[in-house]
Amino acid sequence: MSFRSEVHDWLDANCPASCRGPGEVPGGGTKVSMTDDQRLWIERCAERGFTVPTWPEEYGGAGLDKDDLVTLLQEMRALDIRAAVSGMGTMMIGPTLLEYGTEEQKKRHLPRIARGEVWWCQGYSEPSSGSDLASLRTRAEDQGDHFVVNGQKIWTSGAFNADWIFCLVRTDPDAPKHEGISFLLFTMDQPGVTVRPIRLISGASPFCETFFDNAIAEKDDLVGELNKGWTVAKRLLQHERSGIGMLASGTNRESGAELYDLARRFAGEDDGRIADADLRHAIAGHYIDAEAFRLTQRRTVEESQGSTPGPATSIFKYYGANLRKERAELQINMMGTRGIGWQGDDFNPSELAMTRAWLAGKAGSIAGGSNEVQLNIIAKRVLGLPD
């Protein structure tokens, strides 16, 4: 039996019906509520190594090569199957540890990520740093067998659910700002860590302020060399921005059918087509752009030999953020006044959810590095333009 046939049969037999089609992919962890089907799907995929299919088997992966990875992704898409687990563990800190972690760090952290047992958050941005990340002030003092961390981070996505944080800290305050920075891992469930959710215009609070007051990071959880964390930090950002992890998770799907169904409901049909010609063309144009983006990501996976590309990852971050905002704008516009409901019995739950999703999506061009930062990287590092 070919790998394609084998994986198709396995996916079809093992994926619960509720884990197919559009829906949320859990990020794992001890504080996150999941359905029984989601937990079962994680367990089954983890046994097969399909939560992190390209990782080596000894760390919880399936050790798939490029061709088999593409086959797995194609079969997941054909069966409309969502990934079992996603998030910063599988897409950001996991791949970074594979490159920069010690063998002990890999064995201790990666299998737990692969099994969806831990939720990670990112301690990068600070209130006084803005987009100049290297000017960070959070400090870690060497206390022999551990570091003591003091300072503040902001926009810490999911910190209220996180078990662990990967954090940039200054370990040499006298060094130039891009030096003297170290990359630490430490637990969030300790007395020295305080998390305060930030309420957004969408009403949700996915981002947080995070305060460190003599928090403890063990020496064994220093990733890379002391004072050389900027190199590790930049590599992790490439993993975050590449979109490869999102593609590999099977979650990067733009459905033209969903937009079409919404348009039929609010704009009506004319001989089987969306009645409004301008809206019809806008939806078709968006779907073409989204499909071209998906195919570009897939081609990048096929050409990457399992590695993450460099500065070109900023293209994925920039374009993907704009696509998601464009889709939300299309949805809201076609709904008219039904798309601006905030609360009350005059709007049904799906309409209220759409309004809040549209507002939340505004953060996409800021989170993970603003669009302006991405354009600067593309101009300098990809196109080679002068400063």
| DSSP state at residue 378 | I
Cα 228 → chain centroid: 25
The C-alpha atoms of residue 69 and residue 71 are separated, in whole angstroms, by: 5
Count of other CB atoms within 10 angstroms of residue 249: 22
DSSP string, 237-274: HHHHHHSHHHHHTT-----HHHHHHHHHHHH-EETTEE
Q: Is 240 a catalytic residue?
A: yes
Count of other CB atoms within 10 angstroms of residue 153: 26
Q: Tell me which residue of 312, 367, 295, 357 sits closest to 131, measured CA to CA.
A: 367
Burial call 205-221: b when 16+ CB within 10 Å, e when fewer = ebbbbbbbeebbbeeeb
Is the Cβ–Cβ distance between 170 and 136 less than 8 Å? yes
Apex CA 92: angle with CA 203 and CA 32, to 5°?
A: 45
Is the Cβ–Cβ distance between 151 and 214 less than 8 Å? no
Q: Tell me which residue of 9, 2, 101 sits closest to 48, measured CA to CA.
A: 9
- CA dist 385 to 131, 225, 351, 376, 380, Å? 20, 32, 45, 9, 5
Phi, psi of 311 (to 5 degrees): -55, -20
Count of other CB atoms within 10 angstroms of residue 343: 9
Residues 141, 179, 240, 329: which is the catalytic one? 240
Burial class (CB in 10 A: 0-12, 13-18, 19+), 385: exposed
Residues designated catalytic? 240
